Amino acid sequence: MPLKIGDKLSLTIHDIAFGGEGVGRIDDFVVFVPFVLVGETVTAEITEVKKNFARAKLLRVEKPSPERVQPECRYFGGCGGCQYQHVAYATQLRLKHKQIADLFERVGKIPSDKIAPVIPCPQPYGYRNRIMIRSQWNKPEQKLNIGFIRADCGLVEDIEECKIAEPALNEQIRHVRAYPPPKGGIKVVLRVQPEDWDVPPDSFFQNNLFLLPKLVETVREFLRDSGIKHLADLYCGVGFFGIELAGVVESFVGVEYDQLAIKSAQQNAAARKISNGEFVAAKAEEVLGKVLKRFSPEATAVILDPPRKGCQPEILHLLRETRPAQVIYVSCHPATMARDLNILCADGVFELARVQPLDMFPQTQHVECVADLRVGQSLAKRQNMDSNDSTHAHGNTN
């Protein structure tokens, strides 16, 4: 049946795709519909038709899922910030787990038993400590819209509050609305400074302080388990992981290209009297080789916490060459993470021990993952045999 824009259809939802859209079918032709749940029957209107799939907007839920809940936010569905407020929180966690497991299986042939259940956020609303709002001139209504980009187009949804933001940010939204930017096209970043951390205004800091202790605990457990002595904390921002984990290792080096963040990292370490670490202001891909030369690979772990686009190929290549005992990959973008893990694990150079997802971004499609990679067993054995051979070859009997 050829579909056209404006057609209204009844669809049963079979699955939720990565990113949160429901998957319905007309014969074998896939139709994506947002804000639905598996098992629901909905009426939807086609908004876009492509060769292999179509998109539709939700008009009515005819048969709701028992896992459907009332969204807390009045802008939900219009505002592009959240995708899952209509989904019970426990179901959001299961959904994210399945999506990660499916993605890792597809991209990296990683079996789903390596993916642990998603750790929930103790505060599924009111958790974000940083948001970016935009201004846009609304010509038809002759007023300035202030808020987030809409889900269905590039226009700005005018909002007075954000239910996933911390209360202090909602205060700030009210202030921006009371003293609005002079025109449209302006972005305003609102943030709550974390206590005890020095963070320059434009530098990165983790977005959800409520789940942050679990994130650190996860990485700490992975490090303890491998028993390594040295840590290279790449993309270190204001030194968060290196500083939090300084007590587990003999020494660490943090690398970050934001020079102001590195200054703050030095202050953050000094304020805690941490003296077994050093921070380097540089591009990770340019200094990793030098950093890794300082430590013996079998006693070293590397934390990778890159931006959403993932690691530079040079980094992955160098890690495959130098083979540190452990790589801990932290990411809020599972697709680029799966791509990079695939490269690290090719030919068994690294082996994936486990992936721990954490719900740092409840109500949204996003999820944080921490992967624990160990240098390939067979390779480690081979390396040992090689070094024994060369010791013998050099006649070194000690």
Ligand X SMILES: C[S@@+](CC[C@H](N)C(=O)[O-])C[C@H]1O[C@@H](n2cnc3c(N)ncnc32)[C@H](O)[C@@H]1O
Contact footprint for ligand X (CB under 6 A) = 204-206, 235-237, 240-241, 255-258, 261, 283-285, 305-307
Beta carbon of residue 255, minimum distance to ligand X (angstroms, whole number):
6
Of 237 and 277, CB closest to ligand X: 237
- Smallest gap from Cβ 100 to ligand X, in A, equals 18
**Nearer CB in complex with ligand X: 44/262:** 262
Instruction: Give 131's strand partners.
Output: 190
Nearer to ligand X, 54 or 332 (CB): 332
Residue among 21 and 285 whose Cβ is closer to ligand X = 285
Residues β-bridged to residue 134: 147, 187
Between residues 25 and 283, which has the closer beta carbon with respect to ligand X? 283
The residue of the chain with the least Cβ separation from ligand X equals 237
Give whichever of 170 and 206 is closer to ligand X, judged by the CB atom.
206
In the complex, least distance from residue 285 CB atom to ligand X, rounded to whole angstroms: 6
- Minimum separation from the CB atom of position 328 to ligand X (A): 11
Residue type, 121: C
Q: What is the 3-state secondary structure (H, E, C) of the chain?
A: CCCCCCCEEEEEEEEECCCCCEEEEECCEEEEECCCCCCCEEEEEEEEECCCEEEEEEEEEEECCCCECCCCCCCECCECCCCCCCECHHHHHHHHHHHHHHHHHHHHCCCHHHECCCECCCCCCCCECEEEEEEEEECCCCEEEEEEEECCCCCEEECCCCCCECHHHHHHHHHHHHCCCCCCCCEEEEECCCCCCCCCCCCCCCCECCCHHHHHHHHHHHHHHHCCCEEEEECCCCCHHHHHCHHHCCEEEEEECCHHHHHHHHHHHHHCCCCCEEEEECCHHHHHHHHHHCCCHHHEEEEECCCCCCCCHHHHHHHHHHCCCEEEEEECCHHHHHHHHHHHHHHHCEEEEEEEEECCCCCCCCCEEEEEEEECHHHHHHHHHHHHHHHHHCCCCC
In the complex, least distance from residue 325 CB atom to ligand X, rounded to whole angstroms? 20
Provide, rounded to whole angstroms, the least separation between the CB of residue 318 and ligand X.
13
Provide the minimum distance between the beta carbon of 160 and ligand X in the complex, in angstroms, as a whole number. 30
Which CB, 270 or 385, lies closer to ligand X?
A: 270
Cβ proximity to ligand X: between 135 and 206 the closer is 206
Shortest distance (Å) from residue 393 CB to ligand X: 39
